[in-house]
Amino acid sequence: MKSGSRIAAIGTCCTVLWVANVCASQRPIQIDGVFEDWSDVTAVHADAFGDAPSGGLDLLRVSVADDDTFVFIRIEAAAGFDLSENNNLVLYLDTDDDVGTGMQMGVYGVELEWHFGQRQGTYYSGGNQFPVTQSDIRFRAGPTIDSSSFEIAISRSASPDGVRTLFGPTPFGLLLRDGATGDALPEAGATFTYMPEINGLPPIDIIPFERDTPADFRIVTWNVLNDSPWNPGSGARFGRQLQAVDPDVIAFQEIYNHSIAEIITFVEQWVDPKPGQTWTGAGSPSSDTSVISRVPILDWWPIDGNMAALIGTSQSLDHDILVFSVHLPCCGNNAGRQREVDRILQFIRTSREPGDVELPANTPIVFTGDTNFVGLSQQVTSILTGDIVDEAQYGPDFSPDPDGTSLTNIIFRQTEWRMGYTWRSDSSSFWPGHLDYIVYSDSLLSVANHFAVYTPNMSPASLTTYSLSAADSTASDHLLLCADFRAGKGPNNSVPAVSEWGLIVAILLMLVMGTLLAHRTDNRQHA
């Protein structure tokens, strides 16, 4: 059955219930776990609120868009869950719009079956089945923590069998189904079909490496993967990136076997201090975190494998700043991550009280590092809002920004790619994710230029301009993250903590669905 025989005619592409649609909606979607860029997407299919069994995954809405490189899908549910594990959600794509090919499922002939919670899938082609990994289809998604809303990207040019391209010039059909509850979107009897476009967007705005003004104070955070700058053949790849961004402060992670003096020597080979300045550093031999600075480090403190350094920026930023370099426990160790976040928050709170540290109460905070924020969103909520989970051990909640509000999370993008991931390992079952953060006190600092460096997607002209090679970013599995700061309160560019999104989305969708269903019932009564 080809597309024309199952498409309901509609005048415009819009939110629909119970009918199929063919839409084209090229949009400059940025995969970063923030959804403002989805506001004008019109290829949307909604489902009734509360139609899933109690306690199960209740799918509410799916939206689709594309650019010339990716197909983008946004999934919204009634409650938060972890997209990468502990769920039974499956995505089925009929990518040639032909029910006679692939795996038959109702009105669909499925070419791609993707199991989110298992992070794997199957490609059906020519009567054969091919296992699919996240790397095979260039699967990207955000956020990496539990949420009621996710955005994903799948490459339009992926070839899971090495022969056929996953998406062709025809429309494709889409179905989401929760294997545990049976809740599906669209429901049985309805289809959702999307027609990708070509050349519907202007070129991406390239983020330059340069500071907006020479006085901007630049902080870099970088997990360099097990002392890799000292591996044969790798030093230049790290050095060229440092040279290109020319930082004032560098927060390193995963330097285990080299001293602060050796780290400084490496940095000095690539980045000159400014006149009258000298590179200095701080870090514990028992920790993999360090801070290297070309303005004075006034003091520093180890914090359970993480660290904080007081940087003498009173002349350039009106205050000395407290810079954290953290490397929190990875993977499924949510309890360990939360403990270290609670301990860091305790340090911030007590640093403003009489005691061993006793910093001025108006000392700005810049929290940086490889946070490994995956799984539970509470850890992100905690560091932004000061919500300590184990108050018996680490003391009461508090507001971490000196003005009594929350800290601000910077939303990053790669300079020439609409992607916000900062970690990538194509050999892992986990897809690329946003694991590295820079969070700051927006009451005393404003952020200017900020970006992640990913050289494989930079143009030849940009690589030449900054004396980089295309493979430089692959020296580590984490990207170099860079942010420029100025003195003075800036606009708060934070977004609600991820745990708040579920409540916001659920309330809005309940209102919309209630209105739609009431209208549908009224029409039936008057039919």
Write the pLDDT tens digit of every residue in 461-487: 999 999 999 999 999 999 999 999 999
3-state helix/strand/coil string of 441-471: CCCCEEEEEEEEECHHHCCHHHHHHCCCCCC
At 469 the pLDDT is 98
Strands (DSSP E) along 380-444, which ranges? Answer: 408-409, 436-440
CA distance 429 to 121: 11
Point out which residues pair with 280 in neighbouring strands: 293
- Token pair of 93, please? 């794509």
Q: How confident is the model at residue 505 (pLDDT cuts 50, 70, 90)?
A: very low
Point out which residues pair with 2 in neighbouring strands: none
- Of 25 and 430, more confident: 430
Kindly report, residue by residue over 35-92, the tens digit of the pLDDT: 999 999 999 999 888 887 776 799 999 999 999 999 999 999 999 999 999 999 999 9
Q: How confident is the model at residue 182 (pLDDT cuts 50, 70, 90)?
A: confident
Domains of the chain (ranges plus CATH)?
Answer: 3-202+502-522 (2.60.40), 217-490 (3.60.10.10)
Residue 158 has pLDDT above 80, yes or no: yes
Report the percentage of the chain scoring pLDDT > 70.
Answer: 88
Going by the DSSP 8-state scheme, the letter that residue 169 receives in this structure is: S
Q: Are strands 445-453 and 480-487 parallel, antiparallel or unpaired?
A: antiparallel
Kindly report, residue by residue over 406-441, the tens digit of the pLDDT: 999 999 999 999 999 999 999 999 999 999 999 999
Contacts of 112 (CB under 8 A, 6+ apart): 91, 92, 93, 95, 121, 122, 123, 124, 132, 137, 154, 160, 166
Q: How confident is the model at residue 490 (pLDDT cuts 50, 70, 90)?
A: low
Instruction: For the chain, give the number of residues.
Output: 527
Q: How confident is the model at residue 282 (pLDDT cuts 50, 70, 90)?
A: very high
At 523 the pLDDT is 39
- Strand arrangement, sheet containing 44-46: 44-46, 59-66, 70-81, 147-155, 140-142
Report the percentage of the chain scoring pLDDT > 90.
Answer: 81
- For residue 79, the SS3 value is strand
- Token pair of 525, please? 């009564």
Q: How confident is the model at residue 25 (pLDDT cuts 50, 70, 90)?
A: confident
**How would you class 78 by CB atoms within 10 Å of its CB: exposed for 0-12, middle for 13-18, buried for 19 or more?**
buried
| Residues 316 and 215: beta-carbon distance below 8 Å | yes
Strands (DSSP E) along 254-364, which ranges? Answer: 280-283, 290-293, 297-303, 306-311, 321-327
Kindly report, residue by residue over 312-329, the tens digit of the pLDDT: 999 999 999 999 999 999
Average pLDDT, the chain: 89
At 24 the pLDDT is 72
Contacts of 397 (CB under 8 A, 6+ apart): 385, 386, 387, 388, 391
Point out which residues pair with 431 in neighbouring strands: none
The mean pLDDT of 192-221, rounded to a whole number, is: 96
At 22 the pLDDT is 63
Residue whose C-alpha is closest to residue 100's, from 183, 187, 6: 6
Residue 492 has pLDDT above 80, yes or no: no
At 87 the pLDDT is 95
Residue 18 has pLDDT above 50, yes or no: no
Q: How confident is the model at residue 521 (pLDDT cuts 50, 70, 90)?
A: very low
Residue 26 has pLDDT above 80, yes or no: yes
Residue type, 393: Q
Among 150-159, 178-187, 207-216, 469-478, the minimum mean pLDDT is found in 178-187
Prior bond to 143 cis, omega within 30? Answer: yes
Q: Are strands 297-303 and 306-311 parallel, antiparallel or unpaired?
A: antiparallel
CA distance 454 to 390: 38
Q: Return the residue matching tokens 């205050």.
A: 319
Q: What number of helices (H) and strands (E) belong to the chain?
A: 8, 27
CA distances from 517 to 19, 345, 523 (A): 15, 46, 10
- Of 514 and 8, more confident: 514
At 516 the pLDDT is 41
Among 133-142, 154-163, 183-192, 231-240, the minimum mean pLDDT is found in 183-192
80: phi then psi, degrees, rounded to nearest 5: -75, 150
CA distance 8 to 22: 9
Cβ neighbours of 17 (radius 10 Å)? 15
pTM for this model (two decimals) = 0.89
Residue type, 454: Y
At 21 the pLDDT is 57
Among 19-23, 115-119, 190-194, 484-488, the minimum mean pLDDT is found in 19-23
The mean pLDDT of 211-229, rounded to a whole number, is: 98
